[in-house]
Amino acid sequence: MAIDLVIFDCDGVLVDSEPITTRLLIDHARRLGLELDVEDALLRWKGGRLADVVAEIEERLGRSVPETFALDFRAELVVRMAEEVQAVPGILDVLDQLTYPACVASNGPRAKMNASLGATGMLERFEGRIFSAYEVGTFKPEPGLFLHAAEALGALPSRCVVIEDSVGGVTAGIAAGMAVYAYATDEHGEAMADAGATLFHAMAELPALLGSHAAS
C-alpha cells in the first residue's frame, strides 16, 4: 500500500518535551500549594490537553487556579523548550531517511511546537506542514486533527500513517482510518496496542516498518 503521508505527533515523538512540560506544570501547581508526583503525572497527562490538566489540578486543590495560570505556564514553557528540549533519540536519522511526504499534527499550540522544533533543528523540515489542534478546533482522541492534515495535504486517510506515543493519539489515528505506529517507551505500550497500534521501541526501527507497510 503506497503511503501518501506520514503524520508525526510532536511531543514524545519528535521532541523529548513531555518531562519538561510535566515538571513545569508540577512547579506551577506547587506554587499554589499542591504537591504532585512526577512519574504519576507523566503517565496521567501524556498527550493530554492543558485544559484537562488544569481541571484536574483545580479538583485536587478544591478551588480554581488564578485566571492567568494557563497563560503564565505557556509563556514559561516556550522559554523552557527553546532552552532545554532535545530531539527524541534517533528521530533525525529517521527524517533523513524518510522518502514519504510528512507533517506534524499535535494537540499542542503552535508557539510551543515552533519553540521545540526550532530548538532541535526540525522546524524548517516541516515548514508549512505543522497542524495544531488549537487552530483546527478539534483535539485527539477525536480524529479531526489528523483528517484535517490529510485533507490539507491532499492525502487519502487510508494511505496515511500516524506516528504516535499516547493512547489518545492512537485512538485518533485509528478513528481517522489511518495506520498507526506507536513509539512505546513506557507503561502505555500495552494500552496503545489494545487501541490498534503497531508498537516499536526504538526510532531506528521506523524506516523498515514504513517500508514494510508501503510494500504490503
Clarify whether residues 42 and 134 are in a common domain: no
Residue 40: what pLDDT?
Answer: 83
Residue 201: what pLDDT?
Answer: 96
- Residue 134 belongs to what domain range? 5-16+86-215
Cell numbers at residue 27, please? 512547579
Residue 50: what pLDDT?
Answer: 87
Clarify whether residues 118 and 196 are in a common domain: yes
Residue 132: what pLDDT?
Answer: 97
Please say if 9 is a catalytic residue.
yes
Residue 186: what pLDDT?
Answer: 77
Residue 162: what pLDDT?
Answer: 98
Q: What is the pLDDT of residues 13-51, one digit of tens each?
A: 999 998 898 899 999 999 999 998 888 887 778 777 888
Residue 44: what pLDDT?
Answer: 79
By the 10 Å C-beta count (0-12 exposed, 13-18 middle, 19+ buried), 104 is classed as: buried
Clarify whether residues 106 and 12 are in a common domain: yes
- pLDDT mean for each 10 residues of the chain (216 residues): 94 93 90 87 78 91 94 92 95 97 96 95 97 96 98 98 96 98 88 96 97 93
pTM: 0.88
Q: Please give the Cα distance from 74 to 112 (Å, whole number).
A: 8
The answer to whether 133 and 11 are in contact (CB under 8 A) is no
DSSP string, 14-25: TB--HHHHHHHH
The answer to whether 182 and 203 are in contact (CB under 8 A) is no
Q: Phi then psi for 105, rounded to 5 degrees?
A: -135, 115
The answer to whether 113 and 104 are in contact (CB under 8 A) is yes
Number of structural domains the chain divides into: 2
The answer to whether 159 and 4 are in contact (CB under 8 A) is yes
Catalytic residue, candidates 4, 9, 37, 52: 9
Kindly report the CATH number assigned to the domain that includes residue 24.
Answer: 1.10.150.240
Clarify whether residues 24 and 58 are in a common domain: yes
The answer to whether 98 and 207 are in contact (CB under 8 A) is yes
Clarify whether residues 95 and 192 are in a common domain: yes
Q: 3-class DSSP state for residue 8?
A: strand
